């Protein structure tokens, strides 16, 4: 399985890649955000895109939804610390 970690935080990319490395999957990390997901999904053809969504104000759910619609074979997982019901509902819809 090919997993691509997407974040603007270089320390997070390094930590997440090191944690996932023990799974034996093909792990790749790249600097980016939700606005670049569709481009990354098409260029890298991952099975899973793991998006760092800890900065929930910078998230673009419309871009995430476009990615999931145009790349149905790619699972998008959003990591976030947000707990507001509205945020969680928007994330699930995307």
The pLDDT value given to residue 29: 96
Supply the pTM of this predicted model. Answer: 0.90
CATH of the domain at 33: 3.40.50.2300
DSSP 72-87: TTSEEEEE-----HHH
Domain around 70? 2-93
* CA–CA gap between residue 92 and residue 94 (Å, rounded): 5
Residues in the chain where the model's pLDDT stays below 50: none
Q: How far apart are the first and last CA of the chain?
A: 23
Give how many domains the chain has, as a whole number: 1
Phi then psi dihedrals of residue 59, to 5 deg: -75, 145
The pLDDT value given to residue 23: 95
């Amino acid at each position: 399985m090919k997993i691509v970690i997407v974040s603007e935080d270089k320390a997070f990319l390094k930590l997440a890649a090191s944690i996932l490395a023990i799974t034996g999957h093909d792990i790749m990390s790249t600097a980016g955000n939700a606005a670049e997901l569709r481009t990354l999904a098409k260029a890298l053809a991952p099975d899973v895109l793991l998006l760092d969504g800890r900065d929930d104000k910078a998230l673009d759910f419309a871009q995430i939804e476009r990615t999931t619609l145009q790349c149905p074979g790619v699972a998008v997982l959003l990591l976030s610390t947000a707990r507001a019901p509205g945020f969680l509902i928007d994330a699930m819809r995307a």
